[in-house]
A and B are shown apart, each in its own frame.
Chain A
Amino acid sequence: MDSKNVDKLTKDILEKSKLELTNPDFSNILMSKIKSESHKQSILHNIVLYFLTFLSLDAIILALLKLMHIRITDIVPKTTAFTQGIFSNIQNSPSNIGQFLLMYFLIMAIIIFGLNMVSSTRSKYSGI
C-alpha cells in the first residue's frame, strides 16, 4: 500500500475520533463570561480615561493661571469664613497639603465613580 493510500486510510480512521462539545449550554455560558469580562474591561478603561482627563484638565488650568500671572488666592474672594479657613491652612501649614491632595483625589474618585455609573447604565440600556 503506498503512502498516499495509507494517509487516506489514516484520515478515514481518525475521522471517527472526532469529538464534539455536547454541553448545550457551553456557548451561552462562555458568552456570558465574555460579556462580563468585556464589561469589566470597559469600566477599567473608563476609570483610567476619566482620571487622565481630570489630571490633564487641572494641569492645563494651572498652566494657564501661571502664564497669565494669576494667583487663585487673589481672585477668590476671602469674604467667607470657609474660604478664609482653606487659604490660611494651605499657606500656613505645609503638612495640610497632604490633606488637601487627599481631598482632591477623594473628590475625583467620587466624580469618576458617578460618571462610571452613568456610562455603564447607559450602555446597559443601549444593549452594548
Chain B
Amino acid sequence: MDNIYLQKVLEGDVSKFSFFIEKYGDMAFSIAFRIINNREDAEEIVQDSFLKVFKALSKFKRDSKFSTWFYRIVVNNSLSRLKRDKAVSTYVDVDKVSNVVIEKVESVYKGLTHSDQQKFINIALVEMSVEDRLLLTLYYLNENTLEEITEITDIAQENLKMKIHRARKKMFIILEKTLKSEIQNLL
C-alpha cells in the first residue's frame, strides 16, 4: 500500500502524501515524545521529519520499509534536538527483578482505572533512560522487528535483545516503585 501512494506522490500527486501523515503521524509522535518528553517539540519534530522525507522521497531506495526509513529520521531529529540525554534517569538494579515483582505489578496494575494506568506507565517511562524508552516503544508498542530496530536506532542487533530485556526489567522495577502506595493499600 505504501508503495502505491509513494508512486503517486512521486508522479506529482502531492495530496496523496496525507496518507503517510495519517498512517505514521501518531507513532512518530510517540517516538519523538518518548525521546524528548515535550509535546510541542515532539510535534515540531514530526513535522520537520515529514518535510525532510518529502524532500528526499525521490532518493528513497525501496530496499527497506518506508516506515523504518521515516522512523529513523524521526529518531535522528529527536536525538539531535535533545543533543544529549538531559533526562535524569533512575538507577535500577535489574537483577532485583523477580517473578514476584512482575506478578505484584500485574495484579495492582490491572486493578487500576484506564486513566490511572496511563498515568503510572507515563511516570515510569519518564524515569527511564531515553534508549530504554525508545526500545520499549519500538519493540512492544510499534511491534518493530529486531532488524528494523537496528536500522532505526543503529544499535547492533546482537546487543538489542539483551537491551530490550533489561529495559523491560527496569520498567517493572520502576512501576513497582511508583505503584508502591497502591500496593500497600491493597495489602
Contact = CB atoms under 8 A, between A and B. Distances in A.
A binds B: yes
A19 B18 contact: no
A14 B137 contact: yes
Contacts of B25: 21, 26-27
Interface stretch (A33-41, A59-67, A84-92): A33-41
- For the residues of B in contact with A, the DSSP-based class is helix
A31 interface: yes
A20 to B, nearest CB: 5
A23 B43 contact: yes
Interface stretch (A4-12, A47-55, A74-82, A96-104): A4-12
A124 interface: no
A33 B47 contact: yes
Contact of B121 (A16, A21, A37): A16
Interface stretch (B48-56, B70-78, B79-87, B88-96): B48-56
Nearest to B13: A128
B30 A16 contact: no
Contact of B136 (A10, A27, A41): A10
A7 B33 CA distance: 23
A10 B17 contact: no
Nearest to A40: B55
B51 A33 contact: yes
Interface stretch (B61-69, B101-109, B145-153): B101-109
A37 B118 CA distance: 38
Interface residues of A, number: 28
A9 B51 contact: no
B89 to A, nearest CB: 16
A69 interface: no
Contacts of B156: none
A109 B172 CA distance: 66
Interface of B: 12, 14-15, 17-18, 21-22, 25-26, 29-30, 33, 43, 46-47, 50-51, 54-55, 99, 102-103, 106, 109, 114, 117-118, 121-122, 125, 136-137, 140-141, 168, 171-172, 175
26 contacts: A1-B103, A10-B140, A10-B168, A13-B175, A14-B121, A14-B136, A15-B141, A16-B114, A16-B117, A16-B118, A17-B30, A17-B121, A17-B125, A18-B26, A19-B33, A21-B25, A21-B26, A26-B25, A26-B47, A27-B22, A30-B21, A30-B47, A31-B15, A34-B17, A35-B15, A41-B55
